[in-house]
Structure 1
Amino acid sequence: MGQELKLRIASAIVLAVIVLAATWIGGWAFNLVAAVMAPLIYYEWSTITGLSERSFKANAFGWLVVLLIAADLIIGEGELSMPLLCGGVVTGVLLAILGHGSWWLPGGIVYAGLSGISLAAIRGDNQAGFVATLFIFAVVWGTDILAYFVGRAIGGPKLAPRISPGKTWSGAIGGTVAGVAASGLLTLGVFSRLSLWTMALAFLLSVASQIGDLFESFIKRRFGVKDSSHLIPGHGGVMDRVDGLVFACFAVFLLTLVDTAMKGHVSNSVAAFIFGL
């Protein structure tokens, strides 16, 4: 086993232990993970897209918004996070229109800020949130792992050769099957039942996670970088590790908001939306 592979495995184990421990504890511990992740993602996004070189002041504004969101996730339990995000995005768009900032600024605020907000909102502070978070982990991790191995074993037509030449349709299909199966087994183990809705949602989240992977690959190819950063030994950057998770969390969080708005009340949790509780 090469030194690079050993480093990669060690880093993966450490990260998995930290994330799973925080998921188990919930509350402030998990919010802290989400709050730390958001600024790290913005750091990588702003570095890749050169936001500071384009406009130092606009980038400083982006940092302010993301850090305020992170602080609110820890101190205010996320109550002001969505207004901060919306206000930051609108201001970022106005700065871009007026020529005082790049269009990559509001994109970075959304990508980083909503990553922390959606992850914290899904976990919440109860047992249902714990299971919902594990459900999303099962979908994303199952998809990611099997897509890699099935793609390498079978090969075949490329999924998106201009964006990510290594990804294949066989890997995408195998990953989706694995993600749905892993989340289905988790649901059966917890609730002893499995609904068509939950499996359909798992399929959607698996597809979303792969779109997230392709999106990050597009950003890196657009700016000619191999890794989002070198923050994680053997793995590259935070965006490299959470690209699929971020889009899956976006999808389930936004779908839950739409479902809540359509039903006219705010009592529905993410777990209730996923499992039909």
Structure 2
Amino acid sequence: MSQDNAAPTPAAEQGSRNLWLRVAAAVVLAPGALAIAYLGGWIWAVLATAVAIGLFLEWLSVVGAARDFRVLVIGCLTLLVCGIGLMFDKPGPAALAAVLGVGGLLVLNDQPRQWTASGLGYAALALIASVLIRHDPDHGFVALVLIFLIVWGTDIGGYFAGRGIGGPKLWPRVSPKKTWAGAIGGLVLSLGVAFGFALAGFGKIVPLLILAAILSTVSQLGDLFESAVKRRFGVKDSSHIIPGHGGLLDRLDGYVAAVALAALIGMARDSVDGIGRGLMVW
């Protein structure tokens, strides 16, 4: 058989299959997430709480603490209280509950207490930041969409630029497949997202481009952080709940980092009631 007619290699077949799984999962999940984000209010808080609990459970599985009943109870109750506080527009008590929950895990004698406490803080941060960003009734949804599209654009640009161009690895000890070309490709596509928002009248072009560059970079750092944690514990995927993507941690690592920073930027610019305006540079 000639080389031209040779069957695709198993690696190529697996890569193609994985790509289609990723696309199919995105087509199913992304519209649902956007629809609930559009509705906002308690239904968005419920989704954010459920996702935060899922992130925490996957984190425990990665660090080998999934069977510790006390950790499970403290963590899940903490996130439930946070979510309820946010549903009733009480971010202060929600943040206090998160601090107390993390402190509770730190005082447990069992190991790895620092890892379980970090996982609860990680999940609580994702929950609180996601709800606070959406809090602004006028601009919160647009702000969330901007974050979503920057993170998704970073992932998509990184995937195709990394595969199509290749080249030097970004950080081979942590993530052997990621390349500098992929990192730059993700950044470029995120800038395109910001440019589109500016053209649509959702902010000034220069601040939006700067914001996109920062959030894209932080998103990639969040991805690397999650990869480092998995490598530390010898885990490939946090779970297999999302076909082609792995688990919630695998899919949302960049989003968690980006939304947390976006919330901090919003709070630095304005009060909690003005997070949408602060983030979107109105």
Bin the TM-score by the shorter chain.
0.7 to 0.9
* Separation of aligned partners in 1, 2:168 and 2:18: 29
* Separation of aligned partners in 2, 1:94 and 1:131: 40
Alignment-derived partner of residue 21 in structure 1:
35
Instruction: For residue 44 of structure 1, give the secondary structure of its aligned residue in structure 2.
Output: helix
Determine if contact 1:69/1:81 at 8 Å carries over to the other structure.
yes
Q: Does 1:274 align with 2:257?
A: no
Deviates more, 1:197-206 or 1:244-253: 197-206
The structural deviation recorded for 1:203 is: 0.8
Q: Does 1:47 align with 2:52?
A: no
* Separation of aligned partners in 2, 1:205 and 1:179: 9
1:38-89 per-residue CA deviation (whole Å, 9 max, x = no partner) reads 1000110011112245x54234322221232233334x24533111112222
* Separation of aligned partners in 2, 1:111 and 1:14: 26
2:218 to 188, 191, 208: 208
Alignment-derived partner of residue 149 in structure 2:
138
Alignment-derived partner of residue 10 in structure 2:
none
Alignment-derived partner of residue 7 in structure 2:
none
* Separation of aligned partners in 2, 1:255 and 1:127: 18
* Separation of aligned partners in 2, 1:197 and 1:37: 30
Alignment-derived partner of residue 264 in structure 2:
254
Q: Where in structure 1 do 4 or more consecutive aligned residues deviate above 6 Å?
A: none
Instruction: For residue 127 of structure 1, give the secondary structure of its aligned residue in structure 2.
Output: coil
Alignment-derived partner of residue 118 in structure 2:
107
* Separation of aligned partners in 1, 2:63 and 2:272: 39
Unaligned runs of 5+ in 2: 1-12
Determine if contact 1:216/1:239 at 8 Å carries over to the other structure.
yes
The structural deviation recorded for 1:131 is: 0.8
Larger Rg: 2
Q: Does 1:12 align with 2:26?
A: yes
Alignment-derived partner of residue 263 in structure 1:
none
* Separation of aligned partners in 1, 2:243 and 2:110: 38
Determine if contact 1:122/1:270 at 8 Å carries over to the other structure.
yes
Determine if contact 1:123/1:132 at 8 Å carries over to the other structure.
yes
Deviates more, 1:81-90 or 1:211-220: 81-90
- Indicate how the Cα distance of structure 1 residues 136 and 5 shifts in structure 2: closer, same or farther if over 3 A, else same: closer
Q: Does 1:231 align with 2:237?
A: no
What percentage of aligned pairs have identical amino acids?
A: 40
* Separation of aligned partners in 1, 2:66 and 2:245: 25
1:57 to 47, 70, 79: 70
Determine if contact 2:136/2:274 at 8 Å carries over to the other structure.
no
- Indicate how the Cα distance of structure 1 residues 125 and 64 shifts in structure 2: closer, same or farther if over 3 A, else same: same
1:150 to 158, 161, 172: 161
Aligned partner of 1:64: which letter?
L
Deviates more, 1:267-276 or 1:109-118: 267-276
- Indicate how the Cα distance of structure 1 residues 14 and 158 shifts in structure 2: closer, same or farther if over 3 A, else same: same
Count of residues in Structure 1 that have an aligned counterpart in Structure 2: 267
- Indicate how the Cα distance of structure 1 residues 64 and 219 shifts in structure 2: closer, same or farther if over 3 A, else same: same
